[in-house]
A and B are shown apart, each in its own frame.
Chain A
Amino acid sequence: MQIFRTLCVGFLGLAAANLLAMPSVQAAGKTLEIVQKRGHLKCGVSQGLPGFSTPDNRGKWTGIDVDFCKAIAAAIFNDPSKVKFTPLSAKERFTAIQSGEVDIIARNTTWSMHRDTALGVDFPVINYYDGQGFMVRADLGVTSARELDGATLCTNQGTTTELNAADYFRSNGMQYEIVAFEKADESVAAYNSGRCDAYTTDHSALYAQKLKLSQPKAHIVLPEIISKEPLGPLVRQGDSSWNDLVRWTHYATVAAEEFGVTSKNLAKMKLSSNPSIRRLMGLDGSFGANLGLSKQWAVNIIRSVGNYGEIFERNVGVQTPLGIERGVNALWTKGGLHYAPPIR
């Protein structure tokens, strides 16, 4: 039975070749060490949401969430390209972070108490303040979400959106039918084809998905915001230094905006005598070292992705096709909610 023997040998060869190349053994707990040893960050993102994380035809990812992971890579490696993005569906995301398939998830995920306390994950910080809204066809003649009694809603399966919609319609005594798809693309396609009267998800995502419709102008986003959706990255529970690193990566970009530090004026800012800016730039103190990073950590972040304002405007701001105003996502000094604790 020569064939059988060669078959077995071939199979084992194949398996061995794969196994030799693939596994990477990591030590328990210390995510930063693991990432440094591996040489790149593994970041879970959405499967395609313009402005937040979306791949182009060549597989290059862009968006706010993508920039967040790039910022972390820049802080660790001084190289924003050392990230591997893993697109995840809404239902896969928690399992993927629990199981260690990714180091961090930046996937426009709502921070809720249940998720924070029961799923073995931590939300270090909020990087986008959002709320749930509705999109309908303009020719439907609906101007308010209160008029949606009896409507069919398309949404994404396994999201807080699904729960909020149920709460909103029930508490207002309205009837509804929900069609929940596994992938955002499928729900948008179904809404586009007329399966549903309204598409409901986070407000920012409504603007993003609108771009994918065959006639974006024929649809309007209703004014109501029916929920609080604080979106942020999430990490595995139990590694608080990794948690710190993620949190301060975000705060560094917010603080930079507050102090007027941008990716363009870094050289000039290095000469600044403002003690806050000097600390941010790693000129005074050893803040980087305490995170396990270099002194230049914040400079590396800002050089690669810019400050929070730059990230926002580049990906979703009024100049982009999404055209979203800063609104609650402005700095606290400008009436928004973004507020970085002092770096000192």
Chain B
Amino acid sequence: MSAKTWIPTPARPAPANTVGFVGWARENLFATKLDSALTLVCAALIIYLLDVVFGWAIVDASFSGEDRNACLKQVQGACWPFIDAKLGQFIYGRYPEMERWRVDWVFALGLIGLVPLLMPKVGFKRANVIFMLGFYPLFAFFMLTGGRFGLAPVDTSDWGGLLVTLVVAVTGIVGSLPLGILLALGRRSELPIVRALCVGFIEIFRGVPLITVLFMASVMLPLFLPDGVNFDKLMRCLIGVALFASAYMAEVVRGGLQAIPKGQYEAAAALGLGYWKTTRLIILPQALKLVIPGIVNTFIGLFKDTTLVLIVGLFDLLGIVQLHFTDSTWATPETHITGYAFAAFVFWVFCFAMSRYSIFMEKHLSTDPNQ
């Protein structure tokens, strides 16, 4: 009897139908009979939709031309020359063509300041924030309105398109954050009157539609001011949007405040910190970090809501696109859908990017060992 070493037979490969694409498909697409049926129906639906969209946007579309005649084929898809001809209007509105470089500068500088701010790895956050919140708004304000430093004044009623959309959204965002924080702190305050006032403010603004707020701001605000005091319509809408957004922001921030364990307050009290110091140094840094995704979501909502200013007569991107539908040189059956598709795409890119960023931040922050 010689010692026999037991040699295990090598593992056989997994059955062919459980690996690779076939295996993946069996697992994920054709697990049961019902699944298979659903998969086939969905696949058919996707192919059909792709065919419709692709056919409309590319195959049957017109790409060049000077007026409506380019878009009057028998089978007509999108009328892209319309967008091409009006692009300047869609971005700047009636901003004088000679002065559009000023808008470009504001856009460019905003981008330069914003991108490093959004990347967690890049340093100099503090300098960056000071730049974006201290210098940039002033720069943008003087550049866009003009009338000083040798720049020709441009009336805000000539602003339009993407410019107005971005101005309203950015000001709304920048204005609503500090106000929202104050309101959230007020709502959790131990002083009953302050709390009641904050709750009242928040609930009223959250309870009414934005267009009534905008309508109030755009035409009724002067009634509430002393006779003769008046300021720009765009400015009044900005205030309306910022107040409205701050109520939503307050609720998001409140969520963060509620998530801070009581021990943090007690520890701060034990160190002898007062209310403001505790809030500023201990509570807010943690709470705000927690609710960054919520804040970004509020921003996305606000960005989409900027379209409502068209109802009170400001021409944001959607408003200016709609305005140009009345141009009879471009009146075709496809002009409307093309214009809406373009506007939808622009809004979608902004909102989708923001929502992805929010998810990214959520992941980034949750791996933070400090949490």
Chain B, 302-347, CB within 8 A of any chain A CB:
311-313, 322-323, 325-326, 328, 331-332
Are B285 and A101 neighbours in the complex by a CB distance under 8 Å? no
Residues of B within 8 A of A23 (CB): 229-231
* Interface hit among B26-34, B44-52, B215-223, B362-370: B215-223
Tell me which of A2, A4, A24, A25 contacts B181 (CB under 8 A). A4
Question: What CA separation (Å) do A47 and B133 show in the bound complex?
Answer: 35
* Interface hit among B15-23, B59-67, B73-81, B134-142: B134-142
Per-residue B-contact encoding for A149-171, CB less than 8 Å = 1, 0 else: 00000000000000000000000
Are A18 and B174 neighbours in the complex by a CB distance under 8 Å? no
Interface residues on B, range: 35 or more
Residues of A within 8 A of B171 (CB): 14
Question: What CA separation (Å) do A58 and B284 show in the bound complex?
Answer: 48
Residues of B within 8 A of A1 (CB): 280-281, 284-285
Name the residue of chain B whose CB is nearest to the CB of A56. B94
Tell me which of B94, B155, B228, B280 contacts A100 (CB under 8 A). B228
Are A13 and B280 neighbours in the complex by a CB distance under 8 Å? no
Are B328 and A212 neighbours in the complex by a CB distance under 8 Å? yes
Are A26 and B227 neighbours in the complex by a CB distance under 8 Å? yes
Chain A residues bordering chain B, tally (CB within 8 A): 55
Question: What CA separation (Å) do A99 and B311 show in the bound complex?
Answer: 19
Residues of B within 8 A of A100 (CB): 222, 227-228, 230
Chain B, 278-313, CB within 8 A of any chain A CB:
280-281, 284-285, 288, 311-313
Residues of B within 8 A of A113 (CB): none
B192 proximal to A (CB < 8 A) = no
B67 CB → nearest A CB, Å: 12
Residues of A within 8 A of B231 (CB): 19, 22-24
Are A26 and B326 neighbours in the complex by a CB distance under 8 Å? no
A131 CB → nearest B CB, Å: 25
Are B138 and A17 neighbours in the complex by a CB distance under 8 Å? yes
B96 proximal to A (CB < 8 A) = yes
Are A99 and B328 neighbours in the complex by a CB distance under 8 Å? no
Are B219 and A92 neighbours in the complex by a CB distance under 8 Å? yes
Residues of B within 8 A of A85 (CB): 157
A98 proximal to B (CB < 8 A) = yes
Residues of A within 8 A of B175 (CB): 11, 14-15
Are B137 and A13 neighbours in the complex by a CB distance under 8 Å? yes
B32 CB → nearest A CB, Å: 47
Tell me which of A5, A89, A95, A212 contacts B326 (CB under 8 A). A212
A3 proximal to B (CB < 8 A) = yes
Residues of B within 8 A of A214 (CB): 328, 331-332
Residues of B within 8 A of A271 (CB): none
Are B134 and A10 neighbours in the complex by a CB distance under 8 Å? yes
Question: What CA separation (Å) do A211 and B181 show in the bound complex?
Answer: 52
Are A189 and B155 neighbours in the complex by a CB distance under 8 Å? no
A55 proximal to B (CB < 8 A) = yes
Are B235 and A18 neighbours in the complex by a CB distance under 8 Å? yes
Known contacts A7-B178, A185-B323, A212-B326, A86 near B233 by CB under 8 Å: yes
Question: What CA separation (Å) do A48 and B221 show in the bound complex?
Answer: 25
Residues of A within 8 A of B312 (CB): 92
Tell me which of B130, B141, B233, B313 contacts A47 (CB under 8 A). B313
Task: Name, among A3, A19, A24, the residue most crowded by chain B CB atoms within 10 Å (CB to CB).
Answer: A3
Residues of A within 8 A of B284 (CB): 1, 4
Chain A, 37-72, CB within 8 A of any chain B CB:
47-48, 55, 57-59
Name the residue of chain A whose CB is nearest to the CB of B238. A18
Tell me which of A2, A21, A34, A87 contacts B126 (CB under 8 A). A2
B111 proximal to A (CB < 8 A) = no
Question: What CA separation (Å) do A57 and B133 show in the bound complex?
Answer: 34
Per-residue A-contact encoding for B201-219, CB less than 8 Å = 1, 0 else: 0000000000000000011
Known contacts A95-B219, A185-B322, A22 near B235 by CB under 8 Å: yes
Residue pairs across A and B with Cβ atoms less than 8 A apart, 14 shown, are A3-B125, A4-B284, A7-B133, A9-B133, A10-B132, A14-B133, A26-B229, A48-B323, A57-B89, A88-B313, A98-B223, A188-B326, A189-B325, A212-B328
Give the interface of B toward A (CB within 8 A): 89, 94, 96-97, 125-126, 129-130, 132-134, 137-138, 141, 145, 155, 157-158, 171, 174-175, 177-178, 181, 218-223, 227-233, 235, 280-281, 284-285, 288, 311-313, 322-323, 325-326, 328, 331-332
Closest 6 pairs (CB-CB, A-B): A10-B133, A26-B228, A99-B222, A214-B331, A59-B94, A22-B231
- Known: A15-B175, A96-B219; 10 extra A-B contacts, CB below 8 A, are A7-B177, A10-B134, A13-B137, A14-B175, A17-B141, A25-B228, A59-B94, A92-B219, A101-B230, A213-B331
